[in-house]
Amino acid sequence: MKYAVVTFGCRVNQADSLGVEAALTAAGAEAVSCERADVVLVNTCSVTASADQGARQTIRRIHRENPDARIVVTGCFASRAPGDVAALPGVSAIVPNLRKDALAATLLPMLGREPGEGPCGRPPSPGLMGRTAWTLRAQTGCSETCSYCIIPTTRGPSRSRPLRDVLDELARVVDAGYREVALTGVHLGAWGRDLGAADTLASLLDALAHAPGDFRVRVSSLEPMDCTPAVLDVVAAHPARFAAHLHLPLQHACDDMLRAMQRPYTRRAFAALVDDVRRRWPDAAIGSDVIVGFPGETDAQAQTLASYLERSPLTHVHVFPYSDRPGTVAEAMPGKVAGPVVKARASRLRDISRQLSSAFRRSQVGRVRPALTIGDGHVAVTDNYLKVPAPPGLARNAWVDVEVPPLDGVAAEPD
């Protein structure tokens, strides 16, 4: 029997999908395209209205192109609006986030398979889902109260995986041949708060730093207030273990906007943090997220955000046009910004992001960086998040030291 998986959104969804694929392949199911699959899993996101729309369009397209496929939908859109999802053509089952651990048990009988080793056994070799790195989820859920965010409703409160579980999964994937592990969570910086006083993100990173094996850890998005001196101390002390790359969401550069968003830091605190990262780690990639067009955002505030980004040490920025999420505090806020204005502001910020990425790339030309080959081996991703040509003759998943060439390009998502 054949299956396909379509994943939207964050690295946490990617990690969830990887775990399901590992279970399905261990049980003998075959991964194919959506057009050929007997069962298609759609792992949805709901962070924006466009994410919801993208999931709807994808489900309709899958059913149109493969009307016999049984479509199983999970993720945040399925959790937030199960009635809307159930009404879409071809949907056979909905698995909300709080039951994601049962996904394999739902899918295997539909594929005529019995549970095999699954994610508790040896994972498939690098290349699963076309990805070279393994995404390891250490935490899920969120207990924060950002006024624009629906995720605490769709994911539930913050829940940490015990350290032993994280290290056991790490050992399995390293044994299977993975050389890069992306450590992720919905609110990764909250790891350990529900486990015990001694458990913190810094202690988790320290345990990963001392784990055996030939692998590198790329730390996924960290909220600024969670990127503590203790965290930076661990990462900086182990440059061979941790990729020179952090992602620190800013969201806005005006304190009044941050207060309206219910973000627990100021622009000054964020700027001091990224400046400290740059001092400690001169060649590191530092990414960020911003929201444009939040209710009440004025032209002057939009200009303040743009001006800060232009002079910041950030190397790339993900720009999210604000969209109402049902049931959030921000949905009821006055001062909604007109769509064309939001579009124009977002376009300007994306231009700034491209300029930051190009400047960072130019600053790295001629530097020799450790990298991992991806795809068919002709391309490598450096520790500091640059995609560069690899020397000839290498396969996927090979370590290589590369000199950054003077080519046009921007920071690259690790595959």
Cα gap 164→204, rounded to integer Å? 10
Cα gap 41→6, rounded to integer Å? 6
Model-level pTM?
Answer: 0.89
Q: Is the pLDDT of residue 183 over 50?
A: yes
Can you give the pLDDT at residue 123? 65
Higher pLDDT, 131 or 78: 78
Position 10 confidence tier, pLDDT thresholds 50, 70, 90: confident
Cα gap 154→46, rounded to integer Å? 9
Query: Cβ distance 234 to 204 under 8 Å?
Result: no
Judged by phi (left if over 0) then psi (alpha if -120 to 50, else beta), residue 9 lies in left
Higher pLDDT, 136 or 122: 136
Q: Is the pLDDT of residue 108 over 90?
A: no
Supply the angle between the helices 267-280 and 229-237 in degrees, to the nearest 10.
20
Which residues does 239 contact at the CB level (< 8 Å), separation at least 6?
A: none
Can you give the pLDDT at residue 410? 44
Classify burial at 332, counting beta carbons within 10 Å of its beta carbon; exposed 0-12, middle 13-18, buried 19 or more.
exposed
Can you give the pLDDT at residue 100? 87
Q: How do residues 334-368 score in pLDDT, each as one tens digit?
A: 999 999 999 999 999 999 999 999 999 999 999 99
Can you give the pLDDT at residue 130? 75
CA distances from 228 to 139, 190, 222, 248 (A): 18, 12, 10, 12
Query: Cβ distance 5 to 30 under 8 Å?
Result: no
CA angle 371, 374, 377 (to 5 degrees): 95
Q: What is the mean pLDDT of residues 309-325?
A: 96
CA neighbours within 13 Å on the CB side: how many for 24?
31
Higher pLDDT, 55 or 18: 55
CATH class of 2-120: alpha beta
- H or E element at residue 371: strand 368-374
Could you tell me the two tokens for 96?
């909300």
CA distances from 42 to 98, 100, 300 (A): 16, 12, 41
Q: Are strands 245-247 and 180-185 parallel, antiparallel or unpaired?
A: unpaired
Q: How many residues does the chain have?
A: 415
The whole-chain average pLDDT of the chain stands at 92
CATH class of 132-243: alpha beta
Q: How do residues 262-297 score in pLDDT, each as one tens digit?
A: 999 999 999 999 999 999 999 999 999 999 999 999
The residue ranges of every structural domain in the chain are 2-120, 132-243, 368-403
Q: Is the pLDDT of residue 117 over 50?
A: no
Query: Cβ distance 39 to 9 under 8 Å?
Result: no
